[in-house]
Amino acid sequence: MRLTVRNTRESDIQGIIDLCLAVYPDTPPWGEAQIRSHLAVFPEGQFVALDEDSGEVVAMAASLIVWWDDYEADMNWRDFTEHGMFTNHDPDKGRTLYGAEVMVHPGRQGCGIGKALYQARRELVERLGLLRIRAGARLRGYHAHAATLTPEQYTRQVVAGLVPDPTLSFQLKQGFIVLKVVHEYLRHDPESLGYAALIEWINPAVAGAEDYAARDRFALR
């Protein structure tokens, strides 16, 4: 497959909706109004991956900039994204790129597409001089271990490489670390049972020793 990663355009909206239905068939997809809002407030932070031969949208990533002091780490996805509209985007004060969504078509996973999207995000952070990327990593595999492990125990085992998680294990390979486990991040998600790991990648081009020290104080161990 020949792949192109670029910023999202209005012409990609239906393709993104179709992708959502393929990835989450039992969940309402991103709506047209939401995607248009993303493009209006922060077009640079929205990406799609296209199959060059078919023109199909095979993956997408959506993000916004936030001033982290406006939020608590335990807040949920709706709070961080203003119900998916990104109207809380704050490029004037914010130093954190918040990763609201990354999804890859089920039939195209394992081809390096997700890695390409994360690289596009890192390049955006570097270009804008932001301090970091943070996101809620949905603990997709937790439902299979919920009878024997707490969410924190499960996450520690994933971090240690003892248990694979379809989402978090990939993100750890992209250089993220886990800060904590958030309860009720996605309340009605049957795979994660609502739990997510708050993850962080620090931009080495602008971070100082104090930024790494602050991260390490909060890192999940």
* pLDDT tens-digit series, residues 7-56: 999 999 999 999 999 998 888 899 999 999 999 999 999 999 999 999 99
Contact of 1 with 56, CB cutoff 8 Å: no
Domain count, the chain: 2
pLDDT of residue 18: 97
Distance between CA atoms of residues 217 and 17, nearest Å: 40
Taking residues 141-163, what's their average pLDDT? 97
Q: What is the pLDDT of residues 80-115, one digit of tens each?
A: 999 999 999 999 999 999 999 999 999 998 889 999
Q: Please tell me whether residues 161 and 220 are part of one structural domain.
A: yes
Answer with the one of 98, 130, 162 that is the final residue of a domain: 130
CATH number of the domain residue 88 falls in: 3.40.630.30
Q: Are 87 and 125 contacting, i.e. CB atoms less than 8 angstroms apart?
A: no
Could you say which of 130, 148, 169 is where a domain stops? Answer: 130
Tell me, rounded to whole angstroms, the distance of Cα 170 from its chain centroid.
11
Of the pLDDT bands very low, low, confident and very high (cuts 50, 70, 90), residue 187 is confident
Residues 81 and 177 in one domain: no
Q: How confident is the model at residue 72 (pLDDT cuts 50, 70, 90)?
A: confident
| One domain, residues 99 and 153 | no
Res. 69: pLDDT tops 80? yes
Residues 97 and 11 in one domain: yes
Give the list of residues 6+ apart from residue 24 with CB closer than 8 angstroms, or none. Answer: 103
Same domain, 85 and 170: no
Residue 90 burial (C-beta neighbours within 10 Å; 0-12, 13-18, 19+): middle
* pLDDT tops 80 at residue 1: no
Q: Which residue range forms the structural domain that includes residue 75?
A: 1-130
Same domain for 120 and 63: yes
* Pair 207, 150 in one domain: yes
Residues 100 and 153 occupy one common structural domain: no
- CA–CA separation, 56 vs 5, rounded Å? 12
User: Do 14 and 113 belong to one domain?
Assistant: yes
Are 122 and 88 contained in the same domain? yes
How many angstroms separate the CA atoms of 62 and 126, rounded? 17
Can you read off the two tokens belonging to residue 67? 């001033």
Mean pLDDT of 55-79: 94
Arithmetic mean of pLDDT, 172-182: 96
Q: Kindly report the average pLDDT of the chain as a whole number.
A: 95
118 and 163 share a domain? no
Mean pLDDT of 124-135: 98
Domain boundary among 104, 130, 156: 130
User: Do residues 121 and 148 both lie within one domain?
Assistant: no
Regarding pTM above 0.85, the answer is yes
